[in-house]
Amino acid sequence: MALRLATRLVLLLRLAVAGGQVPIQCATAEHLRAGECCPLFWGDGSPCGEASRRGRCREASPGGGGWGAEGGWRGRPAGRDFRLRWPAYFYRRLCACAGNFAGADCGECRPGWRGAGCGRPYTVVRRDLARLSPAQRRLFVERLAAAKRTPSQRYAIYASPGPAPGAPLAFRRASVYHVATWMHYVLPKPVPGGEGVIFAHRSTAFPTWHKMYLLHLEAEIRNMTGDDTFFIPVWSWAGKGGCDVCTDELFGRSGPGGWLSRRSVFGSWRTYCTSDGGSQMTFDLVCPPGLGRGIRRFERHDPRFSALPTLADVDACLRLHTFDRGPFNSAANFSFRSALEGFIDPQRPDTFVTSMHNLVHVYCGGTLNNIFEATNDPLFPSLHAFVDLIFERWLRRHPGTRYPSGPPQGHRGHDWMVPFLPLVQNQDLMRGARFFGYDYEID
């Protein structure tokens, strides 16, 4: 009985996907020294709500990292790169939640469940922007704009305190949207000795990581607003003649030089995590404070990328039977992941071109076309909601597909997904949307 309970707790440690960077309750020097993030559950005052049988504080399994004896990539020292020892760089002991409980202190429900005992299932449907009423569109825009200026009450980021390279990194408060921006920003920094690998892109975990990103942002905005029906609407970009949502009523129209129109609520947005200059590719500086710059889109015309992906491209992508295959990078052909991410032509899957997701980013240009800055554009979440919808359609066509073995470190099925706490493994997100409490209007 005790063994079965322990196994269940370890599983829920992974599946408690409220997500984020470091929970605010644990963003202190004392918690770092103790190597423990097991906050007291407000309902009973015990760590992880153990007194209420919600969870317990336990050692985080090292099996998810696999970075070698010294914590570095293939045994190299991790240095300032906390990704390479996730989560042990910060904490060795974390809350493992039981049943449908979730969150840093097991005080929440995992996605898809609600009620005092997290025993009532529910599903929120992500709808297409084109099907929303004007009032629903306005409400979404207002809430996304509020997320940019509202401090997160749940998570802190780990970043440079100032512009001096090499200064000790420290916890810092950030807005709800900026926490999500920071999460994506740290991923593309190259791994020393990592043989070209970057996190969450150019390999197998691309669809699963971005699925988790959307779940995180939705959960944060729901917490901010108190509305557990909030969802990220879908921009269904395939087959469109242009960016039909790039209007001042939605994500902003582009003016001279590509800068967003000041008539848009997003015209006043400034980028976050864009003040590190030449250190963008290193950990000498990590998201130092700065004013940033405005959001740009369609700042110049490139005739090679003058059209969005077609509906035929999406259909061809869905017909690919293999989720991913060797060499599990941008050179993988006949791979659904590689086609969806946009390294091969879905209709000719042995041909390497810019397609699908990558093509949309390049087509829009500007802020969206810089991997470190892309999440600063308010269009990013809805763009990726359609990527996730395609992933969901593929999972339904190919039931029983398992996460493949063979990807590089950081993309393996059992690797902890950086930088999410509570912990989740890449392979955990190979489940369908309904398991996580959401669905799509799929025709």
Cα–Cα distance for residue pair 321/423, rounded to 1 Å: 29
- Position 315 confidence tier, pLDDT thresholds 50, 70, 90: very high
Decide: 372 and 287 in contact? Cβ < 8 Å.
no
Task: Return the pLDDT at 229.
Answer: 95
Mean pLDDT of 278-297: 93
Decide: 422 and 219 in contact? Cβ < 8 Å.
no
Cα–Cα distance for residue pair 271/290, rounded to 1 Å: 9
- Position 334 confidence tier, pLDDT thresholds 50, 70, 90: very high
In percent, the amount of the chain with pLDDT more than 90 equals 83
In percent, the amount of the chain with pLDDT more than 70 equals 91
Q: Could you list the residue range(s) of the whole structural domain that residue 180 is in?
A: 2-440
Chain mean pLDDT for the chain: 90
pTM assigned to the model? 0.93
Task: Return the pLDDT at 62.
Answer: 62
Mean pLDDT of 228-257: 97
Task: Return the pLDDT at 387.
Answer: 98
Decide: 407 and 205 in contact? Cβ < 8 Å.
yes
Which region, left, alpha or beta, applies to residue 406 given φ > 0 means left and ψ of -120 to 50 means alpha? left
pLDDT tens per residue across span 212-242: 999 999 999 999 999 999 999 999 999 999 9
- Position 1 confidence tier, pLDDT thresholds 50, 70, 90: very low
The DSSP annotation for 252-305 comes to: --B-GGGBBPTTSGGGG---SS---GGGTTSSSSSS--------B-S-S--GGG
pLDDT of 21 above 90: no
Decide: 383 and 235 in contact? Cβ < 8 Å.
yes
Task: Return the pLDDT at 401.
Answer: 96
Q: What are the structure tokens assigned to 177, written together?
A: 């949207």
Task: Return the pLDDT at 99.
Answer: 94
| The three-state (H, E, C) secondary structure of 179-232, written as one string | HHHHHHHCCCCCCCCCCCCECCECCCCHHHHHHHHHHHHHHHHHHHHCCCCCCC
Residue 216: give its domain's CATH number.
1.10.1280.10
Q: In the chain, how many domains are there?
A: 1
pLDDT tens per residue across span 55-83: 999 998 765 544 433 334 444 445 889 99
pLDDT tens per residue across span 142-188: 999 999 999 999 999 999 999 999 999 999 999 999 999 999 999 99
pLDDT tens per residue across span 126-146: 999 999 999 999 999 999 999
Strands 55-59 and 93-97: antiparallel
Task: Return the pLDDT at 61.
Answer: 74
Residue with tokens 């993988």, as numbered in its chain: 332
pLDDT of 4 above 50: no
- Position 191 confidence tier, pLDDT thresholds 50, 70, 90: confident
pLDDT of 49 above 90: yes
Cα–Cα distance for residue pair 415/64, rounded to 1 Å: 4
Cα–Cα distance for residue pair 379/246, rounded to 1 Å: 8
Task: Return the pLDDT at 76.
Answer: 43
pLDDT tens per residue across span 379-425: 999 999 999 999 999 999 999 999 999 999 999 999 999 999 989 99
Cα–Cα distance for residue pair 114/120, rounded to 1 Å: 5
